[in-house]
Structure 1
Amino acid sequence: MTYGSADMSESAGAKSTLASTVYQQLRDDLLRGVFESESKLRVEWVVSRYGAGASPVREALNRLASEGLLGRHDQRGFFIMPVSAPDLEELTRTRCWLEERALRESIANRTGEWEEQLVLALHRLARAQRRLPEDPSSNNPEWERLHRAFHRALIAGCRSHWLTGFCDQLSDQASRYRLISQEGAERDEIGEHRLIAERAVDGDADGAVEALLNHYRLTAAMCMERFNESGDHRVGKALRGRR
């Protein structure tokens, strides 16, 4: 019985590891806009693409659906969540609401350690290249990781794991729009991030919030403009209809 229990435990651990691997790979592809919006994701197709069994694939798909990166039809499987101008507007507005509260709380409760971590996150982001040197049209995954770390450091002192969790979820959705649109060519991004950090470290809550919300709204506006220019069928029609 002991050996059987050990074998079952190892098997469960292997499935969990596979599910985590599929989850991360599929999540990255979803955020980068690899798949067609609103297209179906059949379990068999995902199994074939990512080289994993049906059980870990279903676990990964369910996890992504719970995070809002996939939709789910009863008895009909999973599908890629659609993108649209109204959704981007709502997403940006909601993200601004929540992160304003999180940033104000972080500044109100700031410590020396929080300030150091924020300055360090800014320094690392400033040293990273936004685009891949060998492919200037592609975003650098390391920059994306450091960018996320900077924004996470901003609100890390809010003392609410619920609030940071909601902010993380909205950040994922915003990143998806930004990566699909390939936004980010004509702006002083590091200057925007530096202004946010400097005001936060100085304890200027109103100024830091203003800089952060301007940063998010500019990103959304540039995403919409890029979609409008390209005529991307995923949101381009909606954008033209709203102008």
Structure 2
Amino acid sequence: MTSAEIDGEQQNGLTVSENAYRRMRSDIIFGRLRPKQKLKLDGLRDSYGISISTLREILNRLSSEGLVVAEGQRGFEVAPVSVENLKEVAALRLLLEAHALKQSFAAGGVEWEGDVVASHHKLATLERRMAAGDMSQTELWKRYDWEFHQSLISACGSQVLMDTHAAIFDKYLRYQMIALSFRGDIAASEHRVLLEAALDRDSKTAREVLARHVQGGLEHALAAGLIA
């Protein structure tokens, strides 16, 4: 075993194991590891610079999150996708986020407002670039999208709710990356209304817009025809 494979070694403040877990999880969510792709241990060991034992731990962890499927003696593969699962994920995201919005809007203070404004500014800037035809930063766009929606609910007062929403949002994001689902001015307009509703503490409007936002994203992803 090389020194890079030793659990507990630090990389950017993270253990090698945690760093590899985050990289692999990101590779699944952003489609670099495709649905139903076989995850061969020897190849992954070389790609992520970790031991086989650490790799198995990571794959089991990702399996518990529903991002990897254990195939018994045949090993592991990236979790498949389906229209039915996308609909379930979208419905659960809406349920969690709508509830968290109401709690967050009631409790958020000035610092929360500042975070919402700042995260929207980054997202809106990138959405304008993409609307103009620059699709070179899709991963950064989705990161900013995640940050904006997380900022909206960040004052909800429940870390469990935040963590659960983040896990579901990642699964929703995975489908968006597979379908390359960018709705242009429609989504950007919905984000602007969500920002205004947050500053006005208008949770009713925000939840109505969020429902359209999630449903629109679902329909747009399905229309692309890339989800088997």
> How do residues 90-101 of structure 1 correspond to structure 2 at under 5 angstroms?
90-101=88-99
Whole-Å separation in 1 of the counterparts to 2:106 and 2:184? 33
1:64-94 CA distance string (max 9 Å, x none): 2222211223444322111111111111111
Look up the SS of the partner of 2:58 in the other structure: helix
1:176, CA displacement in angstroms? 0.4
Q: Report the equivalent of 2:103.
A: 105
The change in CA–CA distance for 1:174 and 1:138 in structure 2 (over 3 A counts) is farther
Q: Report the equivalent of 1:13.
A: 8
Unpaired segments ≥5 residues, structure 2: 1-5
Coordinate RMSD, CA, aligned: 2.5
Q: Report the equivalent of 1:61.
A: 59
C-alpha contact 1:38 1:81 (8 A) present in aligned 2: yes
C-alpha contact 1:40 1:79 (8 A) present in aligned 2: yes
Percentage of matched positions with identical amino acids = 33
Q: How many residues align?
A: 220
1:54, CA displacement in angstroms? 1.4
Q: Report the equivalent of 2:3.
A: none
1:145, CA displacement in angstroms? 2.0
C-alpha contact 2:8 2:17 (8 A) present in aligned 1: no
C-alpha contact 2:120 2:191 (8 A) present in aligned 1: yes
Whichever residue aligns with residue 111 of structure 1, its letter is G
1:171, CA displacement in angstroms? 0.6
1:223, CA displacement in angstroms? 0.3
TM-score by length of 1: 0.81
Q: Could you say which structure has the larger radius of gyration? A: 1
Whichever residue aligns with residue 197 of structure 1, its letter is L
Whichever residue aligns with residue 220 of structure 2, its letter is M
Whichever residue aligns with residue 14 of structure 1, its letter is E
Q: Report the equivalent of 1:121.
A: 119
C-alpha contact 1:125 1:147 (8 A) present in aligned 2: yes
C-alpha contact 2:34 2:78 (8 A) present in aligned 1: yes
1:130, CA displacement in angstroms? 7.2
Look up the SS of the partner of 1:71 in the other structure: strand
1:26, CA displacement in angstroms? 1.6
The change in CA–CA distance for 1:34 and 1:165 in structure 2 (over 3 A counts) is same
Q: Report the equivalent of 1:175.
A: 173
C-alpha contact 1:129 1:140 (8 A) present in aligned 2: no
- 2:79 is the alignment partner of 1:81: yes
The change in CA–CA distance for 1:219 and 1:65 in structure 2 (over 3 A counts) is same
Look up the SS of the partner of 2:224 in the other structure: helix
The change in CA–CA distance for 1:91 and 1:65 in structure 2 (over 3 A counts) is same
Whichever residue aligns with residue 8 of structure 2, its letter is G
Look up the SS of the partner of 1:68 in the other structure: coil
Whole-Å separation in 1 of the counterparts to 2:199 and 2:127? 25
Whole-Å separation in 1 of the counterparts to 2:129 and 2:81? 24
Look up the SS of the partner of 1:128 in the other structure: helix
The change in CA–CA distance for 1:114 and 1:36 in structure 2 (over 3 A counts) is closer
- 2:155 is the alignment partner of 1:157: yes
Q: Report the equivalent of 1:71.
A: 69
Look up the SS of the partner of 1:79 in the other structure: strand
Unpaired segments ≥5 residues, structure 1: 1-10, 236-243
C-alpha contact 1:18 1:56 (8 A) present in aligned 2: no
Whole-Å separation in 1 of the counterparts to 2:199 and 2:190? 15
